Structure 1
Amino acid sequence: MKAADLGLLTGVSTPTVHPGGTRAVVSVTHPSLEADATVGQLWTVPLTGHAAPKRFTRGFRDTAPRFSPDGRLIAFLRSAPKAAPQLYVVDAAGGEPVQVTDRKLGVSEFAWAPDARSLAFVSREPEQGRYGTVDGLEANAEPPRHIHTLKYQANGLGYTNDRRAHVFSVPVPDVWGEPVPKAAPETDGTTASTPLIEEPRQVTTGDWDDGSIAFSPDGATIAFVSARHESRDDDLRSSVFLLAADGSGDPRDVTSEHGSFSIVDLAYGLNGVLYFSAQDVGESGRDFVGRNTALYAIDQQGDAPRRLTDPETVDLTESAIVAYQDDSVLVTDRSRGALVLTAVTSSGELRRLTDPATVVGGVAVAGDVVVASVADAETAGEVAIVGDAGGDGALRKLTDFSAELRSAGVLPIRELTVTARDGYPVHGWVVAPEGDGPHPVLLNIHGGPFAAYTGSLFDEAQVYAAAGYAVVMCNPRGSAGYGQEHGRVIRQAMGTVDLTDVLDFLDGALAENASFDASRVGIMGGSYGGYLTAWTIAHEHRFAAAIVERGFLDPEGFVGTSDIGSFFGDEYVGTDPELMRSQSPQAVVGDVRTPTLVLHSANDLRCPLGQAERYYAALKRNGVDAELLIFPGEDHELSRGGRPRHRAQRFDAILDWWARHLPSAQNRG
């Protein structure tokens, strides 16, 4: 795979399955270098017979499809170029989609009412005078923002306190009725004001964000997640609230008195049990480091939640909750670089439905039919039917959206476990270029740190390997998917065992692969990976060059500038000045001698640009061969969700850096 092949990198959404179990619908998207945007449409995938999948809609970017409970309609989100996504519905048999919303800031999620007559959705309500609510008033001409909280921004969004997310309700339009034409002007100059789109009813209000909505099976109640407690600016707690679906009465908090929860997701089971997943963030409400997400159940209103899964061994942080059978739900367990589809009964019994290597991105159920979106070493995303739960975890793939990508070239990934210097097993993967070598080597370090590499197709590893580099990547201590102790051991001890783990894994990979050139090695990483790269090159001088991308580089400067600066650094590196300095790449930048490319995005609110600028300036002042590359208009998600042309230019810049400092047979500049 080359940078020019980005357009072949197809993503597949969580599926929705017709209640009859005959077909699934997914959103299939890909980066378009021509449009310089992510584009895609809905596809229908037959579950029986031999018919091929086919495109169902033709919008610019159609996502998040969901069948109505009666199977007659499909609701989805449609985005026009440079416009916020709006809610649409279409006849499930096909036809012209009908627009449901026209929200100034778009729609982020939605849910069908059980009777299929209305939809609830979440949208941000802009403060009057901002975000285009006044025609002709530019953003730079808006009045000043008066900030009185610690949390007021979010990466990829910007300010949040003046555009809160709330729940709305809207009737489902008649997709079979005659469309309402725009009225023509009368001779007296007036024009009839017949609305083309029905105005939604706002269900929640207040100076907080609401989301993760779900209807109870009887349609009488909407459950949602919010942080409305007085200390919400100082902690990470949130709660599950219940509200009458007609908006009457006040929302009722049903979880906060029973634990210190940070809610991840919620859903009702088929039997009316309310399930939610949450991290236990401790007495302080901020103890999030390395905390796995557990599943809880509330059997009846007024009952205390029951914990169903053990957070020491099961992690549902990247999981939705999907009603499955009368007494169970489906979740995905983050485990050793995979997302394993797992059925959990209301008594807490677990049953694995997929193998321990596949990444299950989303799942939908209709009766006994279970359909998942999956990724593995040969595909970026496909639709598959999940086999018998008690069987061998077999998946029957129904699509082959990655066929063109494989034709362009996908190199195999090999799993490896290396014993670290203290005897700890470090798990990861290597991707080798074609040919006998010797190949220069790139040590890649993931972000997070409580995240993980997987064994599925990874565009970065493929691009670097195609350029002639052996790619080495592992999940050191601090990563997710190996139990809480594995994730929490670097709390206020960053740059300790995580540093030795990546170096020991590198040495193990070099020893295992005779074609890898141990004398020619580079190092690179983004976010936490940028942190550990910068920390490593201050302590280890074996690398030909380094790339420090969107890094957490200066804990002192993180507070008050990052959207997570009010808690992230406090929990990961502590608050004692000496303790912070003992884990700070900025504090040891004077020890760096390795040529370093510092790569960052101008609108990064997670690791703000100042982190990169200070680090780069120190490198230059110390005489290090260093360069700074800044991408305009991009945020912390550049490498995954940035403009396609910027993503391709990023790859070009990275390969140019390696061509100059660590050339390969295929990459000599």
Structure 2
Amino acid sequence: MRARDIETLVSVGRPTIAPDGGFAVFAASRPDITANRAVGQLWRVDLPDGTPRRLTRGTADAAPIVSPDGSRIAFVRGDAKGKGQVFVVDAHGGEPVQATDAPLGIGEFSWSPDGARLAFTARVPEPGRYGIIEGLDSSAEAPRRITGVRWHENGAGYIGDRPSHVFVIDVPDITGEPAYEPAPALQPEGVEPPKKVVVAADAVRLTEGAASHFGAVFSADGAEVITVVDEIEPEHRDLSTPVLAVRVDGGGSRELVSRGARLSVHEVIVADDGTVAVLGDDVGESGVDFVAPPTALWVIEESGPRRVTDPALHDLGEGHLTPLGDDFLVQVRARGRNRLVRVTREGDISEILGGDVDITGHAAAGERIVAALATPESFGELVLVGRGPLTDFGRASRATGIVTPAEVEFSGRDGYPVHGWVAKPAGEGPFPVILQIHGGPYAQYGIHLFDETQVLVDAGYAVVYCNPRGAAGYGLEHGRSIRGAMGTVDFSDVIDFLDAAVASDPALDGARVGVMGGSYGGYLTAWVIAHDHRFAGAIVERGFLDPVSFQGTSDIGSFFGDEYVGVDPDAMKRQSPMAYVGEVRTPTLVIHSELDYRCPLEQATRYYSALKRHGVDAEMLVFPGENHELSRGGQPRHRVQRFEAILDWWARKLPIGDTA
């Protein structure tokens, strides 16, 4: 796979299914270098064995949901200003009709049980901000008064002056006559000329105040909308999130989950019998106990939330919920895979779909289940459980010459098993080796097709990557083992895995090695090169490099570093790559994005400056207009340029033909 082959990486979004199970709809998207954006449309496939067909022809249509009667599909499409709005289209296709007109676009949405209304969330800008006054540039807006412990968010910017609220709106008649642009005409003095009607109904706002609301799900009787509350804290970060049921008739709200329950809720669903269930983490009495979060399925009862699954046995931290009769579908993350399981309300679990798959979404009607997934040979497909694949989007990627990594496990210096993969080019080698380190740290490398690895292998490198202690997918103890001890067993795990991989395969040249990683992977890469000088080069990307300044600059700085490295100055220094930058000898490329608020740009610039001050061969590459998600969701041209810069760096520091 070459850098430009990212255009073959078709991802399949969370599917939706007709109530009678007769068809499924999903969004497929891919990077397009010419358009310099992700492009995609909705697809429909009749079940059980229909041929998928493109249902819409927008630029980036996404997030479809079939109406309760199966006749219509609501989805998100950019409006004339590029803001995401809800549109509604006939389930068989046709011209979509715009349903919402939120100034900053919508967040989440759902159908009412009778299909007559839509509930949605949307950010409400403070008067005078974010283009509300035409011609008023953002640089001329009034200053922002900030009194809370957080104020911005990666990929969004400032958040305090545009809280997200809940709305309901009538669904437009998709068979009605469209609105037309009024022709210019002389109007009587004092009479405003008519304007084109963009949407047929006015949205009714259900929530008020400075707090934001996420998720908008109708209760079974349609009388309430259930939403999660996120309020900016005045003094100390608290990850717990109340859940409210807000009456549609304006009659107030009631609390389903209190802040005292200490749950950080990710998703809310309503079962057919009206039962409310949530996916959430127990954040403890501190409200910020998030390291290796114990994500579980909870059912909301009169006495409060009741935990259904055991997070020590089943990690539900990378998925969502689907009601299935009296049961629920969830995804379980383990050893580089995400499998689909069915959970009863008593907590009994049975596997629905497993093997070498990474489930990314699912939907069900009756006993018919569809799932979106990735595999070692495909970035995204839709399958009908029990029947097999419904799509073959991966054929384009397979044509680029992808390799299937070998899955291996080695014992570290203390006997701890370290699990991961080795990918290498065809032939006998020996090949120069690049150690890749993932972000998170509570995340995992997996079995799915990964462009980062494939591009390096195509260029002639063997790639070694693993899930060290601190990663997800191996239990809570594994994930929490680096709390207050970053740069200890995680460091030894990646080094021991590299050594064992090289020792086990003569095609890997242990005398020619490089190391690279992003986010937490950037942290550990910077740590590695300060403590091990064997590497010909390193790439430190969007790294968490100085816990001290991270506290006051990152959008998660109010709790992330506190929980991982602590607040004691000596402990922070002991785990800080910046504190050890004077030990680095390895040539280092620092990559970062201007709008990265997760690991802010200052982390990179200060680290790069320190490398230069200590005489290290260092370069820095800064991408304009991008945030922390550059490598996964950035502009396609920037993603290609990033790959080109990475390959150029390795060609200079770790050339393929050098067998010294």
Is the TM value for this pair above 0.5? yes
Aligned to 2:333: 334
Aligned to 2:124: 125
Q: Is residue 95 from structure 1 mapped to residue 104 from structure 2 by the alignment?
A: no
Q: Following TM superposition, by how much is the alpha carbon of 1:230 offset from its aligned partner in structure 2, in angstroms?
A: 6.4
Q: Residue 60 of structure 1 contacts residue 81 of structure 1 at CA under 8 Å; is this kept in 2?
A: no
Q: Is residue 360 from structure 1 mapped to residue 363 from structure 2 by the alignment?
A: no
Tell me whether 601-610 or 74-83 shows the greater mean CA deviation: 74-83
Q: Distance in 2 between matches of 1:457 and 1:107?
A: 31
Q: Distance in 2 between matches of 1:479 and 1:11?
A: 24
Q: Is residue 33 from structure 1 mapped to residue 33 from structure 2 by the alignment?
A: yes
Q: Is residue 235 from structure 1 mapped to residue 227 from structure 2 by the alignment?
A: no
Q: Distance in 2 between matches of 1:512 and 1:397?
A: 36
Aligned to 1:282: 284
1:351-376: CA deviations, max 9, x gaps? 11111431110001111110000101
1:418-474: CA deviations, max 9, x gaps? 111111111111111111111111100000001111111001011111111111111
Q: Where do 1:40-189 residues align within 5 Å?
A: 40-49=40-49, 51-79=50-78, 83-189=82-188
The amino acid of 1:275's aligned partner reads A
User: Does the residue aligned with 1:635 lie in a helix, a strand or coil?
Assistant: coil
Q: Is residue 200 from structure 1 mapped to residue 203 from structure 2 by the alignment?
A: yes
Aligned to 2:16: 16
User: Does the residue aligned with 1:77 lie in a helix, a strand or coil?
Assistant: strand
Tell me whether 81-90 or 361-370 shows the greater mean CA deviation: 81-90
Q: Where do 1:337-348 residues align within 5 Å?
A: 337-348=336-347
The amino acid of 2:229's aligned partner reads S
Q: Where do 1:447-466 residues align within 5 Å?
A: 447-466=439-458
Q: Distance in 2 between matches of 1:472 and 1:82?
A: 44
User: Does the residue aligned with 1:305 lie in a helix, a strand or coil?
Assistant: strand
Aligned to 1:248: 251
Q: Distance in 2 between matches of 1:447 and 1:513?
A: 26
Compared CA separation, residues 312 and 111, structure 1 to 2 (3 A) = same
Aligned to 1:468: 460
Q: Following TM superposition, by how much is the alpha carbon of 1:209 offset from its aligned partner in structure 2, in angstroms?
A: 1.2
1:186-207: CA deviations, max 9, x gaps? 4435533573312211111211
CA RMSD, aligned part only?
1.6
Q: Distance in 2 between matches of 1:278 and 1:665?
A: 51
Match of 2:487 among 486, 495, 505: 495
Q: Is residue 648 from structure 1 mapped to residue 640 from structure 2 by the alignment?
A: yes
Q: Residue 16 of structure 1 contacts residue 364 of structure 1 at CA under 8 Å; is this kept in 2?
A: yes
The amino acid of 2:281's aligned partner reads Q
Normalised to the residue count of structure 1, the TM-score between the two structures is 0.96
- Percentage identity across paired residues of the two chains: 52
Q: Distance in 2 between matches of 1:414 and 1:642?
A: 29
Aligned to 1:550: 542
User: Does the residue aligned with 1:347 lie in a helix, a strand or coil?
Assistant: coil
Q: Residue 209 of structure 1 contacts residue 227 of structure 1 at CA under 8 Å; is this kept in 2?
A: yes
Match of 1:592 among 576, 584, 589: 584
Q: Where do 1:514-529 residues align within 5 Å?
A: 514-529=506-521
The amino acid of 2:525's aligned partner reads T
User: Does the residue aligned with 2:530 lie in a helix, a strand or coil?
Assistant: helix
Compared CA separation, residues 642 and 229, structure 1 to 2 (3 A) = closer
Tell me whether 556-565 or 347-356 shows the greater mean CA deviation: 347-356
User: Does the residue aligned with 2:648 lie in a helix, a strand or coil?
Assistant: helix
The amino acid of 1:203's aligned partner reads L
Q: Distance in 2 between matches of 1:508 and 1:245?
A: 61
User: Does the residue aligned with 2:124 lie in a helix, a strand or coil?
Assistant: strand
Q: Distance in 2 between matches of 1:130 and 1:516?
A: 56
Aligned to 1:307: 307
Q: Distance in 1 between matches of 2:348 and 2:603?
A: 46
Aligned to 1:391: none
1:558-602: CA deviations, max 9, x gaps? 111111111111111010100000000000000000000000001
1:357-396: CA deviations, max 9, x gaps? 3111000111111000010100000000112xxxxxxx60
The amino acid of 1:495's aligned partner reads G
Compared CA separation, residues 201 and 516, structure 1 to 2 (3 A) = same
Q: Distance in 2 between matches of 1:632 and 1:350?
A: 47
Q: Residue 61 of structure 1 contacts residue 80 of structure 1 at CA under 8 Å; is this kept in 2?
A: no
1:90-114: CA deviations, max 9, x gaps? 0111110001112221112110111
Aligned to 2:623: 631
Aligned to 1:443: 435
The amino acid of 2:12's aligned partner reads V
Q: Residue 185 of structure 1 contacts residue 192 of structure 1 at CA under 8 Å; is this kept in 2?
A: no
Q: Following TM superposition, by how much is the alpha carbon of 1:315 offset from its aligned partner in structure 2, in angstroms?
A: 1.6
Aligned to 2:298: 296
The amino acid of 2:181's aligned partner reads K
Q: Distance in 2 between matches of 1:342 and 1:531?
A: 34
Q: Following TM superposition, by how much is the alpha carbon of 1:46 offset from its aligned partner in structure 2, in angstroms?
A: 2.3
Match of 2:394 among 388, 402, 408: 402
Aligned to 1:374: 373
Q: Distance in 1 between matches of 2:542 and 2:359?
A: 28
Compared CA separation, residues 6 and 82, structure 1 to 2 (3 A) = farther
Q: Distance in 2 between matches of 1:311 and 1:666?
A: 48
Aligned to 1:413: 405
Q: Distance in 1 between matches of 2:547 and 2:291?
A: 16
Q: Distance in 1 between matches of 2:76 and 2:654?
A: 45
Compared CA separation, residues 174 and 666, structure 1 to 2 (3 A) = farther
Tell me whether 506-515 or 622-631 shows the greater mean CA deviation: 506-515
Compared CA separation, residues 550 and 274, structure 1 to 2 (3 A) = same
Q: Distance in 1 between matches of 2:656 and 2:254?
A: 62
Q: Distance in 1 between matches of 2:354 and 2:184?
A: 64
User: Does the residue aligned with 1:78 lie in a helix, a strand or coil?
Assistant: strand
Q: Distance in 2 between matches of 1:414 and 1:69?
A: 45
Normalised to the residue count of structure 2, the TM-score between the two structures is 0.97
User: Does the residue aligned with 1:492 lie in a helix, a strand or coil?
Assistant: coil
Q: Residue 148 of structure 2 contacts residue 232 of structure 2 at CA under 8 Å; is this kept in 1?
A: no
Aligned to 1:532: 524
Aligned to 2:497: 505
Q: Residue 530 of structure 1 contacts residue 550 of structure 1 at CA under 8 Å; is this kept in 2?
A: yes
The amino acid of 1:5's aligned partner reads D
User: Does the residue aligned with 2:163 lie in a helix, a strand or coil?
Assistant: strand
Q: Residue 550 of structure 2 contacts residue 599 of structure 2 at CA under 8 Å; is this kept in 1?
A: yes
Q: Residue 313 of structure 1 contacts residue 482 of structure 1 at CA under 8 Å; is this kept in 2?
A: no
The amino acid of 2:83's aligned partner reads A
Aligned to 1:2: 2
1:121-149: CA deviations, max 9, x gaps? 11111111000000100011111111111
1:227-260: CA deviations, max 9, x gaps? 34966852211121112233321x3222226621
User: Does the residue aligned with 1:618 lie in a helix, a strand or coil?
Assistant: helix
Q: Is residue 267 from structure 1 mapped to residue 269 from structure 2 by the alignment?
A: yes
Compared CA separation, residues 594 and 82, structure 1 to 2 (3 A) = farther
Q: Is residue 563 from structure 1 mapped to residue 560 from structure 2 by the alignment?
A: no
Q: Residue 39 of structure 2 contacts residue 59 of structure 2 at CA under 8 Å; is this kept in 1?
A: yes
User: Does the residue aligned with 2:553 lie in a helix, a strand or coil?
Assistant: coil
Q: Distance in 1 between matches of 2:511 and 2:222?
A: 65
User: Does the residue aligned with 2:639 lie in a helix, a strand or coil?
Assistant: helix
Q: Residue 149 of structure 2 contacts residue 233 of structure 2 at CA under 8 Å; is this kept in 1?
A: no
Aligned to 1:385: 384
- In structure 2, stretches of 5+ residues that fail to align are none
Aligned to 2:217: 214
Tell me whether 151-160 or 423-432 shows the greater mean CA deviation: 423-432
Q: Distance in 1 between matches of 2:228 and 2:148?
A: 20
The amino acid of 1:292's aligned partner reads P
The amino acid of 2:132's aligned partner reads T
Q: Following TM superposition, by how much is the alpha carbon of 1:263 offset from its aligned partner in structure 2, in angstroms?
A: 1.0
